[in-house]
Structure 1
Amino acid sequence: MLVIVLGTAAGAVGYGRRAAGTASVSEWAVGGRRLGTLIFWFMNAGEVYTTFAVLGISGYAWALGAPAYLAFCSVSLSYALGYWLMPKIWRAGRAHGLITQADFFTARFGAPWLGVVAGLVGIAALVVYVQIQLVSLSLIVQLALGGTLSATAAVVVAALVMLAFVYLAGLRSAAFAAAVKDVLMVVVVVLLSATVAAKVGAASLSDVFRLAERAHPGIGRLPGLDPASPTGPVWLMTSALNVALGNWVFPHLFQVSYAARSGRAIRRNAVWQPLYSLAYFFVILLGFAALTAGTAPGGGNPNAALLQFVTDRYPAWTVGLVAGTGFLLALAPGSVLLLTCGSLFARNVVAPLRKGLDDRRALLLSKVSMIGFAAIAVWLTLGRSESLVTILLYAYSAIGMLAPAVFLAFLWRRTTAIGVLAGIVAGFTALLAPFAKDFWAAHLPDWEPGLLAMAVNLVVVVVVSLVTPRPGERAVAVGLALGADDVAAGGPPEVVAGRA
């Protein structure tokens, strides 16, 4: 495992430093807007296929069974929306020199203060998302060191490793690491799937499902192993839709979209990357196999089910390969999450309050602030035992409060900054207020609360926008990807080199 991690880290750092050339926020945060189809493929997949895809989904299959099918639905829906939305984000970013998601909110709605609000919401959602990577990294650190580290120490070590990696070169290093770990992920999934039947006494892959169903009736049907669980068909549909609508709204995926060389590269990825979701079939299979084999991770932690199964049933070199791959699965996306938090904080929270913050100081502040965000993520992680899927749904519920504004920014010229702010407040109230939680639990117990809060948010944005002054044409032009010259000329959207 150590060879895999150190070799990839060294290659990533070297690649990032050679590509960077000069230390600027644009180069560090959006890769100089030069990621071609292949690198963009791995960068984009690196943000979708993390340790959640392997440890989280296999653990959910081990613990609940059929609810793990959420992975299939959410990925397919996400890319259907991404094919339409991501090129629009890319065009707006290139035409107006946007670097962060909050830049978009500031420009599109003509309100710097809304950029600050969007930046804070985005940071909150990203810090929750970092938890997934820290939980996974800490499990692998404990495995690599033979359990000699406590859970607390392992989480701290995981955060330090993640910070060290992202400090060295930024987005391009993460793209390089994402390419390596994606290849390794395919190798690991194929290797384990090809041998798992023999490890659990099954005659074939399909026989693994048969044995799991025989030992645990209902495992392959919703709501899964627990008949009283709310994870039925309505939960599956609403949760998948909530994930799909919120996915491209995450600030780091905004920056990934900005980083593409062309809109064509984005669309090609959106067409082909749903094929990656086929890997979830084998990941779920491994979770079922672990359950069939009687795997018992420490403390009943579902996130450790696959690691424990591999440790129990496979030789040491396989354990090292799986652990090393899992390390990279967490390291690459986790680094980008922290990088985005730093970019948002420096550029969209501090800079509007401190005029004259130059590029060099903004870059330094961005890097330093990541330490604080990593510390918050560590604090949130300690003493918690939720599954990675549950943590993921928390993160999507939070970022979903920006989703109505993003979609309406491209669809409805009348959307106003005051409407967006009112929607965010109403949405968080519907998501977090005790009276709202009680109401949803009593009347719509099977629905994903994040989607319900997003619907409340949307209605409020529309109503308030109708009664507040419409934004200016220059602001509306951002949603149409018009440059300043286009606005003055009243012509069609003409984007600079690399136009879709």
Structure 2
Amino acid sequence: MKLAIVLAILLATVAGAMAYGRRTRHGKSFADWAVGGRSLGTLVFWFMNAGEVYTTFAVLGISGYAWALGAPAYLAFCSVSMSYAVGYWLMPKIWRAGRLRGLLTQSDFFAARYDAPWLGVLTGVVGIASLVVYVQIQLVSLGLIVQLTLGNSISSEAATIGAGALMIAFVFAAGVRSAAFAAGVKDILMVVVVVLLSVTVASKVGAASLMDLFSMAEAKHPGIGKFPGLDATSPTTAIWLMTSAINIALGNWVFPHLFQMSYTAHSATAIRRNAIWQPLYSLAYFFIILLGFAALLANTQPPGGNLNAALLQFVSDRYPAWTVGLLAGTGFLLALAPGSLLLLTAGSIFTRNVVRPFRPGLGERGSLALSRGSLVVFAAIAVWLSISQKGSLVKILLDAYSAIGMLAPGVFLGFLWKRTSAIGVLAGLVAGFVALLAPFAAKFWATAVPQWEAGLIAMAINAAVVVVVSLATRAPQRDAVALGLQIRAA
């Protein structure tokens, strides 16, 4: 039964997504494929936005973190609300930049704002690398869901490969509109699943009520609701929470797919409305964390102690097959909808910002073909990473945010300070990545500023270097600077 439910959800969503994605301009325009013709209204943009923020990380990653560590899962509450506070200010400016200059990717912005096509190439490479790591999160989750649905009849490697193929199918033909439709279906199903499990979970573990779950968890595992959580030696303290939440909030809209998503809205008002109301979705994390605690109380033992599979295993152990099928089907969409846009964005950046500077004569048809072909390659790389590297979804996510955070100073200062230069942004990137990735870095920061999120430290160093070097180098041309200045009123 569970397999039938999964297939029904998946096939119906794929069919609807393809039909919706192709109904406007038939996906033949690169702009329509990449940014939906800049015409997504408030409701569609809402689902698109939520689809990229509430992914498998939100359900499987956070519930698994609660099962394994406890209180550190509270990171989800802080980071989402803070991200939308930043997005209310930043996203309309990104949207207006796209309208003024016909920008389609994040790297288009860097090239135009800093009058430096080479910077567009460099930031494009950084962006693609971060997107591939983010796709890894979705593929790890999809692999687990496939195994839950099909059992031992399929290996984790085969499940991950199949998941990558499904992700490609979502956007290969119709582009961003297909991802938007799938995101809408996914959001509705996610709410249904979370409500269904939350209403029934107390009875599954012998608790009198939802709130009783927390009391039982604290009694059985003292300290689970306080930092650093179940592991007293873990660096996940209150300082870790604050610095990680700030790092996520500043880096969230700098991710190339969310940056590009800002271009898809038909107005700045649609963006601001979403930024005001979307944080309400973070309330769902209360119930997701509660489900993680319930899995712990139920002595759930996911295969190999894999915390990413804790909720899946708990539901499989304690609920009927149709509930497992509903969760698995929803999980598919939680990964497919955001993962599809991630791959689409990587393909768009590769074509426009990595290849086109060296092949300026590349036309619309050639651009579409190259973008579609390249996203297959990026999906293959993400599949390889998913198979060869293991880790919690939260850890993978924080690594991705640390990497993409290196572009944040160039974005924020591009809108705030006309003196910011391309050479300054380049110097900041170099300094930031050294502070983040150098062999000595992790140990040094752990000693010098213990419990701080390393990505935030690297971002601060990056920003300081950008300012200093920009003061010592030539400012961009007036027309380029105007792109940032005109957007201040957005």
Same fold (TM > 0.5): yes
Kindly state the Cα deviation for residue 370 of structure 1 after the two structures are TM-superposed: 0.8
Kindly state the Cα deviation for residue 354 of structure 1 after the two structures are TM-superposed: 1.4
Could you tell me which amino acid in structure 2 is paired with residue 269 of structure 1?
N
Whether the 8 Å contact between 2:418 and 2:485 is mirrored in structure 1 is no
In the other structure, the counterpart of 2:169 is 164
- Aligned pairs for 1:34-53 (under 5 A) are 34-53=39-58
Whether the 8 Å contact between 2:107 and 2:120 is mirrored in structure 1 is yes
Whether the 8 Å contact between 1:249 and 1:400 is mirrored in structure 2 is yes
User: Take 1:27 and 1:97, find their aligned partners in 2: how far apart are those partners?
Assistant: 12
User: Take 1:255 and 1:458, find their aligned partners in 2: how far apart are those partners?
Assistant: 23
Residues 155-203 of structure 1: CA distance to partner in whole angstroms, max 9, x if unpaired?
A: 1111111111111211001100100110000000000000000000000
- Aligned pairs for 1:193-232 (under 5 A) are 193-232=198-237
Structure 1 residue matching 2:300: 3-state secondary structure = coil
In the other structure, the counterpart of 1:235 is 240
Number of aligned residue pairs: give it. 485
Whether the 8 Å contact between 1:67 and 1:224 is mirrored in structure 2 is yes
Structure 2 residue matching 1:21: 3-state secondary structure = helix
In the other structure, the counterpart of 2:309 is 304
Shift of the 360–147 alpha-carbon distance from structure 1 to 2, 3 Å rule, reads same
Structure 2 residue matching 1:10: 3-state secondary structure = helix
- Aligned pairs for 1:24-423 (under 5 A) are 24-423=29-428
Kindly state the Cα deviation for residue 261 of structure 1 after the two structures are TM-superposed: 0.4
Alpha-carbon RMSD: 1.0
In the other structure, the counterpart of 2:28 is 23
Whether the 8 Å contact between 1:92 and 1:480 is mirrored in structure 2 is no
Whether the 8 Å contact between 1:208 and 1:289 is mirrored in structure 2 is yes
Residues 204-249 of structure 1: CA distance to partner in whole angstroms, max 9, x if unpaired?
A: 0000111111111110000000000000000000000000000000
Could you tell me which amino acid in structure 2 is paired with residue 440 of structure 1?
W
Say whether residues 1:2 and 2:7 are aligned partners.
Answer: yes
Whether the 8 Å contact between 1:178 and 1:328 is mirrored in structure 2 is yes
Could you tell me which amino acid in structure 2 is paired with residue 209 of structure 1?
F
Structure 2 residue matching 1:117: 3-state secondary structure = helix
Between 1:375-384 and 1:186-195, the stretch displaced more is: 375-384
Could you tell me which amino acid in structure 1 is paired with residue 291 of structure 2?
L
Whether the 8 Å contact between 2:428 and 2:465 is mirrored in structure 1 is yes
Structure 1 residue matching 2:361: 3-state secondary structure = coil
Kindly state the Cα deviation for residue 481 of structure 1 after the two structures are TM-superposed: 3.7
Whether the 8 Å contact between 2:27 and 2:173 is mirrored in structure 1 is no
Could you tell me which amino acid in structure 1 is paired with residue 102 of structure 2?
G
Whether the 8 Å contact between 2:42 and 2:270 is mirrored in structure 1 is yes
User: Take 2:329 and 2:24, find their aligned partners in 1: how far apart are those partners?
Assistant: 26
Could you tell me which amino acid in structure 1 is paired with residue 410 of structure 2?
A
Whether the 8 Å contact between 1:65 and 1:225 is mirrored in structure 2 is yes
Say whether residues 1:462 and 2:486 are aligned partners.
Answer: no
Could you tell me which amino acid in structure 2 is paired with residue 260 of structure 1?
A
Could you tell me which amino acid in structure 1 is paired with residue 446 of structure 2?
A
- Structure 1's unaligned 5+ residue stretches are 483-491, 494-499
Structure 2 residue matching 1:413: 3-state secondary structure = coil
In the other structure, the counterpart of 2:3 is none
Kindly state the Cα deviation for residue 150 of structure 1 after the two structures are TM-superposed: 1.1
Could you tell me which amino acid in structure 2 is paired with residue 416 of structure 1?
S
User: Take 1:290 and 1:23, find their aligned partners in 2: how far apart are those partners?
Assistant: 47
Identity of aligned residues (%): 73
- Structure 2's unaligned 5+ residue stretches are 1-5
User: Take 1:20 and 1:206, find their aligned partners in 2: how far apart are those partners?
Assistant: 51
TM-score normalised to structure 2 length: 0.98
Kindly state the Cα deviation for residue 473 of structure 1 after the two structures are TM-superposed: 1.1
Kindly state the Cα deviation for residue 153 of structure 1 after the two structures are TM-superposed: 1.0
User: Take 1:168 and 1:109, find their aligned partners in 2: how far apart are those partners?
Assistant: 33
Residues 48-70 of structure 1: CA distance to partner in whole angstroms, max 9, x if unpaired?
A: 00010000000000000000000
Residues 420-441 of structure 1: CA distance to partner in whole angstroms, max 9, x if unpaired?
A: 0000011000000012222112
Kindly state the Cα deviation for residue 348 of structure 1 after the two structures are TM-superposed: 0.2
Between 1:434-443 and 1:369-378, the stretch displaced more is: 434-443
Residues 57-110 of structure 1: CA distance to partner in whole angstroms, max 9, x if unpaired?
A: 000000000000000000010000000000000001011100000000000000
User: Take 2:337 and 2:25, find their aligned partners in 1: how far apart are those partners?
Assistant: 17
Structure 2 residue matching 1:415: 3-state secondary structure = coil
User: Take 2:390 and 2:363, find their aligned partners in 1: how far apart are those partners?
Assistant: 42
Residues 135-164 of structure 1: CA distance to partner in whole angstroms, max 9, x if unpaired?
A: 011111111212211111111111111111
Whether the 8 Å contact between 1:287 and 1:305 is mirrored in structure 2 is yes
Shift of the 22–188 alpha-carbon distance from structure 1 to 2, 3 Å rule, reads closer
User: Take 1:127 and 1:22, find their aligned partners in 2: how far apart are those partners?
Assistant: 24
User: Take 2:292 and 2:258, find their aligned partners in 1: how far apart are those partners?
Assistant: 28
